[in-house]
Amino acid sequence: MGTVTLALLKEKIKSYNPSDLAIIERAFHFADKVHRGQKRKSGEPYIAHPLAAAIRLAELKLDPATIAAALLHDTAEDTGVSIEDIRREFGDDIAFLVDGVTKLGKLKYSGIERMAESLRKMFFAIAEDIRVVLIKLMDRLHNMETLAALPPEKQKRIALETLEIYAPLASRLGFGDLKAALEDLAFPYVYPEEHAMVMKLAQSEMSERANYIKRIQPLTEKYLRDESITILDMHSRAKHQYSLWQKLLKHDMDIEKIHDLIALRMIVPTIEDCYRALGIIHAHWKPFPGLIKDYIAMPKPNGYKSLHTTIFGPDGEIIEIQIRTPEMHEEAEHGIAAHWAYSEQKKLKDYRKNIASTAKDAELSWVNQLRDWQNEVTDSSEFLESLKIDFFKNRIFCLTPRGDAIDLPEGATPVDFAYHVHSAIGNSASGARVNGKMVPLDHELGNGDVVEVITQKNKKPNPDWLNFVKTSMARKHIASVLRTAERDKIFGQKQGGQLVEVRVIGKDRVGFLNDLTSVVASFKINMKGTRTERGERSHPLIIMNCPVKSDDELKKLITKLKSVKGVDEVSYRII
Ligand code: MN
């Protein structure tokens, strides 16, 4: 069995150079030896699992280190092998990846805390080196494919986690086909009755529509060829089960209202061809009003590009048509991984750098944004509540009057929009115009709306905004302004300043305490005592009691303390 599938893996990477092939093969034999005698719950030899993950990554043409690390991803988990052993055998890069995947799997909590912990770890991993998350996603895909072998309680927990964490993550990374696969594998375990219903509902309708596509496909091909458009590929794509169910929920379970149950998809060589093809199709069949979508001029927030139209075909049947170039197709299926397909021209070092910089790119700015604020939110349920909106909700694009696109969750308001443009605009917002019309500040924005925020000097956020804003960014800024106002009121009442207990955790070193106290002194604050607690911690906790005159001064003090060398964490308490 081992050799047959190793052959399959080798087949996928036969274009890689010999030294790359050698390292992958060596990783296989190492893992095979370590896992020997172990069996999956399905009865298969254990190696079949890491091998399956490695093959998926090889199909994406990822770099040799990622494929080798996928083969090794469970060796440091359930066996006597350590990360140090892997480092010695395979070097830093592969050891780093294996360590990263192993850490993602180690979760302390259960229930809602477990989910929050898991997501926090994922965000850090994405920002640091996304290959770790790609391996984890393929690990999960194979675990889902073999889920039938597990006991029912485990099945349900793993499938739910897949729906709530892994599929949205794949979606946010633009990984369309992986998202669909994970959702459809999880669907029957999490919602068995609904799944059965959808299958029954879809069955007859699907075959009817498939027959219709068979009728119009040759016609479409002819129309395009007559205008000498090259068709690289034309195929039908069926809506996957889980997304069909989601859409049915929105449309009162009426399958007749779902026009993209099966869509006709065509791949043409260039962007110009895409628009020409759209024009030719519309010349023969009338488009359904409001359903022409130009995701080329305005890609979806996860990078998806295509032209979509819904037309009245022969006999008045309604059908969706999707038009895209091969590059757009590759990106729609594989998202972020498509950018990193490994080619021999790329030097391995540059590859690593490339990945690190792509993760910091604007297109992944949400990762950094989430990582920043999730540090501030310590309450797990609050964290997840915000995530459900900021991360899991469908995204829309709204435009500034200058045409800049702002990426927001569905249901966002002009106040959310204002804060996403700039915090100063949010703070001084007094009204909004959407597509030229005045609207209240709690108005629900739609995709493609042009939003103009009207500001007023010296205007302050209204506490009522907290009742309707949808994004954590807006919430954070509003709460912070309100808190400052409140604090200044308290601080202003105390002669000589309000006593604040500032707590610093950092690596002890010579002169550390001295550096901290001179920061405090630079604010002309007369410290009222300081003490150090060691307790069980590896790093000491230093507590300083400081009389502070305003919230602004407090904020500056905390920022400055955080920049002292060796400081890990600064917190405070008003006493
Ligand atoms: Mn695994």
Mean pLDDT over 176-199 rounds to 94
- Listed range (111-120, 220-229, 269-278, 536-545) with the worst mean pLDDT: 111-120
Q: Which of 97-111, 330-344, 431-445, 459-473 tops mean pLDDT?
A: 431-445
Question: Taking each helix axis from N to C terminus, what angle separates 176-190 and 152-161, rounded to the nearest 10 degrees?
Answer: 140
Buried-exposed string 396-410: b where 16+ CB fall within 10 A, e elsewhere: bbbbbeeeeebbbbe
- Residues 246-279: tens digit of each pLDDT: 889 888 888 888 888 889 999 999 999 999 999 9
pLDDT of residue 114: 76
Tell me which of 355 and 132 has the higher pLDDT.
132
Q: Tell whether the model's pLDDT for residue 297 goes beyond 50.
A: yes
pLDDT of residue 360: 47
Residues 6+ apart with CB under 8 A from 315: none
Band of the pLDDT at 203, cuts 50, 70, 90? Answer: confident
Backbone angles phi, psi at 429, to 5 degrees: -65, 135
Name the DSSP class of 460: -
Chain centroid to CA 88: 33
Mean pLDDT over 335-364 rounds to 55
- The Cα–Cα gap between 16 and 57 comes to 13
Q: Tell whether the model's pLDDT for residue 532 goes beyond 90.
A: no
Backbone angles phi, psi at 431, to 5 degrees: -170, 175
Share of the chain above pLDDT 90, in %: 48
Share of the chain above pLDDT 70, in %: 89
Distance 17 CA to ligand 1 centre (A): 27
Q: Are 321 and 266 in contact (CB under 8 A)?
A: yes
Reading across the β-sheet that carries 567-574, which strands appear in turn?
530-533, 541-548, 498-506, 567-574
First to last CA, the chain: 68
The residue assigned the tokens 């879809």 is 202
pLDDT of residue 179: 94
Q: Are 155 and 193 in contact (CB under 8 A)?
A: no
Q: Position 160: which residue type?
A: L
DSSP 522-545: HTT-----EEEE-TT-SS-EEEEE
Distance 80 CA to ligand 1 centre (A): 16
Distance 71 CA to ligand 1 centre (A): 9
What mean pLDDT, rounded, does the chain reach?
86
Q: Are 496 and 508 in contact (CB under 8 A)?
A: no
Name the DSSP class of 450: B
Distance 73 CA to ligand 1 centre (A): 6
Which value, in Å, is the radius of gyration of the alpha carbons in the chain? 28
Q: How many CB atoms lie within 10 A of CB 533?
A: 11
Integer angstrom CA distances of residue 336 from 68, 132, 140, 167: 20, 13, 18, 14
pLDDT of residue 345: 38
- Residues 34-90: tens digit of each pLDDT: 999 999 988 899 999 999 999 999 998 888 999 999 999 999 876 789 999 999 999
- Listed range (26-35, 88-97, 116-125, 232-241) with the worst mean pLDDT: 116-125
Chain centroid to CA 167: 9
Residues 6+ apart with CB under 8 A from 156: 189, 190
pLDDT of residue 316: 87
Buried-exposed string 259-289: b where 16+ CB fall within 10 A, e elsewhere: bbbbbbbbbbeebebbbbbbeebeeebeeee
Q: Is the pTM of this model over 0.85?
A: no
- Residues 397-430: tens digit of each pLDDT: 888 888 887 888 888 999 999 999 999 999 999 9
The pair of structure tokens assigned to 329 is 């197709």
- Residues 9-23: tens digit of each pLDDT: 999 998 888 999 999
Distance 50 CA to ligand 1 centre (A): 6
Distance 499 CA to ligand 1 centre (A): 52
Chain centroid to CA 319: 31
Name the burial class of residue 536, with classes exposed (0-12), middle (13-18) and buried (19+) by CB atoms within 10 angstroms of its CB: exposed
Q: Which residues are catalytic?
A: 77-78
- Residues 374-399: tens digit of each pLDDT: 565 556 666 666 666 666 667 788 88
